[in-house]
Chain A
Amino acid sequence: METRPEAGTRDRFRPARPAGQAPGIRSRSLAAGLLLVTPVVLAAVVSFGYTPHPPLAMSIPDRLQPPTLAHPFGTDHFGRDVFSRVMVGSVSAIGAGAFSVLLGGTAGVLLGAAAGYHRGWIEEGLMRLMDGVYAFPAVLFALMVVAVLGPGFGNAVLAIAVVNVPVFARLTRGSYLALREREFVLAARVLGATDARIALRHLLPNTTGPLLVQASASFATAILAEAALSYLGLGTQPPFPSWGRMLGEAQTLMFQAPWLAVFPGVAVAWTVLGLNLLGDGLRDLLDPRLK
């Protein structure tokens, strides 16, 4: 995510609680996040085997129907069932989030680990490049990548993944710089462990907490970015449903069929909210600075 109010923990007269954290608010974040995210994941999984109506089947006589029992979210301008399409849209959203975080995260962690562990001039140069990418607003950079590679789900995911690389690289490098001076690293080296083994088997597990927190925040950002790119017509291409694209199409029809503009938007906000809460909850659980 972007700016997190990161309040300093200070040892005072009572056990440190980060300023800005209300007791009982964040401790419930994890549960609330899970509660929101679980149905979305379920919808995505189920949609592979079952949707109430075929999400791509057009039926012109049924076009632009307001929500009914048969079509709880109504139908679109091709008579397609919006509920089924929102269900399948969760695959685009979760797919975009998962792939871009996995790809960008893995690349970022490896680069950051190399840069944090070795500290040569190649690593310095790499991090300067990372800083350069990091200086771009995420959506702007993703737009530039899509401008070059062309629109489409795969290219959008790749673009968002590239934006994620410096985020994870900086995080990992920071942790490694602190960790590499610790005694357990020296101990491992004395025992004859190779650099790669130390970097991956000894240091990496010690950074999983912050990485996991960042992953859930990046997941949420990726879903927002994919929705924005698809809204602009540069992400997921028709006829495959994506929430952003559905909102883009809904806007042209919003006076005849305002319900079309409601449900995909709720789906985006719902999922992102869930992931952000999940991230906050994980931070409380895992962030060593808060212990």
Chain B
Amino acid sequence: MARYLIRRLWSLGATLVTISVVTFVVMQVVPGDPALVILGHEADPGAVEALRAELGLDRPAVVRYLDWASGAVRGDLGTSLRFGRPVSRLILERLPVTVPLTLMAAAFALAVAVPAGVLAATRRNRVTDLLTVSLAQLGLAIPSFWLGILLILGVAVATGWFPPGGFPGWRDGAWPALRALVLPALALGVARAAVLTRMMRASLIEALEEDYVRTARAKGLAERIVTYKHALKNAAIPTVTVLGLQVAGLLAGSIVVERVFALPGVGRLIIYAIGTRDLPLVQGAVLFVAAVVVVTNFLVDLVYAWLDPKVRT
């Protein structure tokens, strides 16, 4: 396990460096002078010069990259142009929205997918199965932002149980905050639930065809015990892994869903930064989100290796 861990850590480091290079390089492709792009073409030449110096554009790209990357390692992602504050602080302030949102969406996806997948796999080729598979296909096809709009119209406005948007913060207690996140988490979680259901169904069907299941059946165990105690445990491993991989989809989806429900999260921050051409903020926030995805996938790999020793070779 130690050797596996070292190899994975090495690969994690390499991937993090690569994403930082990719982020930096993409941000350099700004057509024309970034200072001019940020300030607009009517800007006063003195201000443009000042911003060029502030952005360090007078220095070579490699120096700027090393400067930025070494700052990022220390948690310093630069300073936002519009807010005039450290990018890392701006991101941190918005995590209390985005983190619970993605966790709730993941919990919802799992809560739907495990029973639905088991139901479909154990009733394979019957109406329940067909229905589950069809619903999962539908869940994959519905854009999260459209689902969000429909939930606002059909649930928030119609019943009044949940607010149609906005976020009250955590100061008034957990309940109002969580209530504001229920519908966004649903909108975000449906596609993930669909992916996980398909995964759960497929891996359980596969597990049910394994020799150890035949053995368990042959020694006279009840089908319930065979399914839940023997097959499900093994089928759950790939599903857990896939749940971890869904973090990328969840974070990307949260960017759009936060806009639908006017939630002040990291996604809204990124959209705001794009709209106001706050390139240091875009660069820092994108790197942060991508790094979260990469680190999560790394942790998932470790959990997977721990659960399934065959992977460690």
Q: Which of B134-169 contact A (CB under 8 A)?
A: 137-138, 140-146, 149-150, 152-153, 157
> Given A3-B242, A3-B245: A132 and B203 within 8 A (CB)?
no
CB proximity to B under 8 Å, residues A1-51 = 1-8, 10, 12, 19-20, 22-25
Q: How far is the CB of B35 from chain A (nearest CB, A)?
A: 14
Note all chain A residues with C-beta closer than 8 A to B242: 3
Q: How far is the CA of A55 from the CA of B137 in the complex (A)?
A: 31
A2 CB to closest chain B CB, in angstroms? 6
A268-B143, A273-B138 are contacts. A140–B251 as well, Cβ < 8 Å? yes
Q: A3-B195, A265-B149 are known contacts. Are A135 and B15 too (CB-CB below 8 A)? A: yes
Contacts of B21 in A (CB 8 A): 132
A57 at the interface (CB under 8 A from B): no
Nearest B-chain residue to A159, judged by Cβ = B26
* A106 at interface, CB cutoff 8 A: no
Give A277 to B146 CA distance when docked, in angstroms: 21
User: Secondary structure of the A side of the interface?
Assistant: helix
Which of A133, A136, A264: most chain B Cβ within 10 A? Answer: A136
Q: B289–A137 contact, CB under 8 A?
A: yes
CA of A8 to CA of B203 in the docked complex: distance in angstroms? 9
Residues A135 and B294 in contact, CB atoms below 8 Å apart: yes
Which residues of the other chain, B, contact A224 by a CB distance below 8 angstroms?
A: 143
Cα A1 to Cα B248 with chains together (Å): 13
Contacting pair B252 A272 (CB below 8 A):
no
Q: With A1-B140, A247-B146 known to touch, is A137 a contact of B252 (CB < 8 Å)?
A: yes
Residue among A7, A23, A137, A232 making CB contact with B203, cutoff 8 Å? A7
Query: Cβ of B143 and Cβ of A136 under 8 Å apart?
Result: no
> Which 7 A-B residue pairs are closest in the complex by CB-CB distance?
A20-B202, A5-B202, A132-B18, A137-B252, A265-B146, A19-B206, A273-B141
Interface residues in chain A, defined as those with a beta carbon under 8 Å from any beta carbon in chain B: 1-8, 10, 12, 19-20, 22-25, 128-129, 131-133, 135-140, 143-149, 220, 224, 227-228, 231-234, 244, 247, 250-251, 254-255, 258, 261, 264-265, 268-270, 272-273, 276-277
Q: A136-B248, A268-B142, A269-B138 are in contact. List 12 more A-B contacts (CB 8 A).
A: A10-B209, A132-B15, A132-B22, A139-B255, A143-B255, A144-B23, A144-B26, A146-B274, A147-B277, A228-B256, A247-B146, A272-B140
